[in-house]
A and B are shown apart, each in its own frame.
Chain A
Amino acid sequence: DAKTTQPPSMDCAEGRAANLPCNHSTISGNEYVYWYRQIHSQGPQYIIHGLKNNETNEMASLIITEDRKSSTLILPHATLRDTAVYYCIVRVDTGANSKLTFGKGITLSVRP
């Protein structure tokens, strides 16, 4: 699986959009971009994933650049409960062994 690079931390104000960047310059054509988050003392939680089109669900939006070398996770109206470590993961979505390879992630702090 391709490697991802994320800044170690960022913060944003409550109610504002949080834009979390991720670089994956070695991504292959059949690799998907996944985002998980981990709130303190809990297990990771799936947020969203995509291949090349932008995706949106009830939690977030995922914007993938045209060359697929980077992506941005957008939390449109961050709340204090969104404070967590966010992991950007790239993997082949074959449906076979779909283990996740986590990096250190980015710590998002939402301030009141």
Chain B
Amino acid sequence: DTGVSQNPRHKITKRGQNVTFRCDPISEHNRLYWYRQTLGQGPEFLTYFQNEAQLEKSRLLSDRFSAERPKGSFSTLEIQRTEQGDSAMYLCASSYPGLANEQFFGPGTRLTVL
């Protein structure tokens, strides 16, 4: 257990539905990252927060995706109008500058879109 928690761990939804995932980082970490991982591939960067500010978004993050970190603590990732291609593991990580920029990953949320 790294101290980063994600909920839910698994989500099955029908195409067209909206889903929201939550990430609780390690409490003193001011940086929070979202990644997506499909089968057989390494994780791909989606977006990054420093405190409550969203500082970078990948081109992978279409307009159906939105992420927030309202008080600089937990974060949510919402996918609207899900598609089968959204099926993946969604990973959250947090870090604190200076600690080797080591990122601590949560266990992920596995999304299956039927």
Chain A residues packing against B (C-beta within 8 Å) = 41-46, 49, 85, 87, 93, 95, 97-105
Query: Are A43 and B106 closer than 8 Å at their CB atoms?
Result: yes
Shortest beta-carbon contacts, A-B, top 9: A43-B105, A102-B42, A98-B101, A46-B102, A99-B45, A95-B97, A102-B43, A44-B105, A43-B91
Nearest opposing residue in chain A for B99, CB measure: A46
A100 CA to B45 CA, complexed, in Å: 7
Interface string of B40-84 (1 = CB under 8 A from A): 111111001000000110000000000000000000000000000
Nearest opposing residue in chain A for B40, CB measure: A104
- New A-B contacts (6) at CB < 8 Å, excluding given A43-B4, A43-B107: A43-B93, A44-B93, A49-B100, A100-B43, A102-B44, A103-B42
Residue of A46, A93, A104, A105 touching B103 (CB-CB under 8 A): A46
Cross-chain pair count, CB within 8 angstroms: 58
* Interface residue total, chain B, C-beta cutoff 8 A: 28
A23 CA to B40 CA, complexed, in Å: 20
Query: Are B108 and A97 closer than 8 Å at their CB atoms?
Result: no
Nearest opposing residue in chain B for A49, CB measure: B100
A42 CA to B91 CA, complexed, in Å: 9
Sample 16 A-B pairs with CB under 8 A, ordered by A number. Answer: A42-B107, A43-B2, A43-B93, A43-B106, A44-B103, A44-B105, A49-B102, A95-B97, A95-B98, A98-B31, A99-B33, A99-B45, A100-B33, A102-B42, A103-B42, A104-B42
